[in-house]
Amino acid sequence: MSLFGFLSGEFIDVIGWTDSTRDTMVWRFEREGHAIKYGAKLTVREGQVAVFVHEGQLADVFKPGLYMLETNNMPILTTLQHWDHGFKSPFQSEIYFVATTRFNDLKWGTKNPIICRDPEFGPVRLRAYGTYSVRVTDAARFLTEIVGTDGEFTMNEISFQIRNIIVQEFSRVIAGSGIPVLDMAANTADLGKLVSTQIAPTLEAYGLTIPELYIENISLPPEVEATLDKRTSIGIAGDLGKYTQFAAAEAMSAAARNPAGGGMAAGIGAGMGLGMAQQMSGMVGPWGAAPAAAQHPAAPQQPVVAAPPPPPPPPADQVWHIAENGATKGPFSRADLGRMVTEGGLTRDTHVWTAGQDGWLKADEVPALAQLFTVMPPPPPPGV
């Protein structure tokens, strides 16, 4: 930062400011106790505004241009001092230069995850980050509301407050947007415009505006992204059986590349060999010999009846726990909970939890249990 000004005796003749820091928003002209000469030259460059403060009161505001400090272009200061038209004495005022250019490439991001409800995945935790730009639109209000008497105010002093405003509004917008997580990347531009529109009134009260706000990334927790990657891999494979075969082949290749695998590698090879033997069981007899038809082509062929596959294991019954009076009860099956609904021991507002559920939920919010409160018994038979 450099100061362009010189003193004529004890009076200041020329007032101006040039800035090379690129982060200074407000700079107070250092008078060093000297008075300003009547008729001094004030240079306000493009991207600046000069604000006069006299005896603690906000006075005149000068836009870019070259000015002679006289009574005809300082109406507010003239009124405050009760100067007449013949006044030509030096005066003492504080002069603040306010940068009105854009401050670009400022960072924002969510410090903690945002919890919202996704239409496809249910409750999810999201993080986001991006950039924004800010500029001063009302220099007088910015001095009054934010800067005060700070002689050199930088962007870093207010960026934390602006980031908090952006994150708060982003959390509200993203939670109420109803946009699925998988579609958010296609809507970041619209979400950024919506957030900047929502925070505009708050920043206007500071004398600021955000010309641009960008959302660079919206991400899920790492463990959720890993699960999503597996789901994508299965979708690319197309058929679960083919995907399983592919995974088994990859495991065999990994075992072959790791001679030190020892028993584990041998186990993988044995398992794969057993699977191949089962696939070849239709071609080879029970004791390793070829079928009789192959040994005696002239013999009549007997139909081979394949043994039926064993039935799959029964599905595991899902159980729930109940929170009541600060204590946990359970586990209870769905049938148990149905009887408790009939007896009045389970209501819609009772909090329940089951494995895989994200925290405690009211029973009415769990789809598998909500039906228990809507099922009504049939009407009694006539005459009963």
Short-list 1, 4, 195, CA closest to 99? 1
Instruction: Using pLDDT thresholds of 50, 70 and 90, give the confidence band for residue 259.
Output: low
The verdict on residue 355 lying in a domain is yes
Quick count: other Cβ atoms within 10 Å of Cβ 196? 19
pLDDT at 294: 46
Short-list 345, 343, 349, CA closest to 370? 349
128 and 219 inside one domain: yes
110 and 214 inside one domain: yes
Range of the domain at 8: 2-99
pLDDT at 213: 95
Average per-residue pLDDT for the chain: 80
136 and 93 inside one domain: no
The verdict on residue 151 lying in a domain is yes
Helix (H) or strand (E) holding 2: strand 2-3
Q: Which of the pair, 84 or 43, is modelled with greater confidence? A: 43
Rounded to two decimals, the pTM is 0.57
pLDDT at 101: 94
% of the chain at pLDDT higher than 90: 32
Distances (CA, A) of 183 to 179, 180, 233, 289, 341: 6, 5, 19, 59, 39
Looking at mean pLDDT, say which of 39-53, 78-92, 328-342 comes out highest: 39-53
CB 75 within 8 A of CB 54: no
DSSP per residue over 3-29, as a string? E---EETTEEEEE-EE--SS-EEEEE-
- CA angle at residue 25 from 19 to 27, to 5 degrees? 65
Q: Bridge-partner residues for 67, per DSSP?
A: 42
Give the residue from 99, 115, 137 where a domain finishes. 99
166 and 148 inside one domain: yes
The verdict on residue 384 lying in a domain is no
Range of lowest pLDDT (114-118, 210-214, 279-283, 377-381): 279-283
Owner of token pair 């057993």: 274
Give the residue from 207, 223, 239 where a domain finishes. 223
pLDDT tens digits along 142-183? 999 999 889 899 999 999 999 999 999 999 998 888 888 888
Looking at mean pLDDT, say which of 5-14, 85-94, 242-251 comes out highest: 85-94
Q: What is the CATH number of the domain that holds 206?
A: 3.30.479.30
Looking at mean pLDDT, say which of 124-128, 178-182, 251-255 comes out highest: 124-128
DSSP per residue over 262-320, as a string? THHHHHHHHHHHHHHHHHTTTTS-TTSPPPHHHH-TTSPPPPP-PPPPPPPPPPPPPEE
- Count of domains for the chain: 3
DSSP per residue over 110-158, as a string? -SSPEEEEETTTEEEEEEEEEEEEEEES-HHHHIIIIITT-SEEETHHH
Q: Which of the pair, 263 or 244, is modelled with greater confidence? A: 244
Instruction: Using pLDDT thresholds of 50, 70 and 90, give the confidence band for residue 277.
Output: very low
Pairwise CA distance, residues 154 & 263, whole Å = 65
Instruction: Using pLDDT thresholds of 50, 70 and 90, give the confidence band for residue 239.
Output: low
pLDDT at 270: 46
pLDDT surpasses 50 at 34 = yes
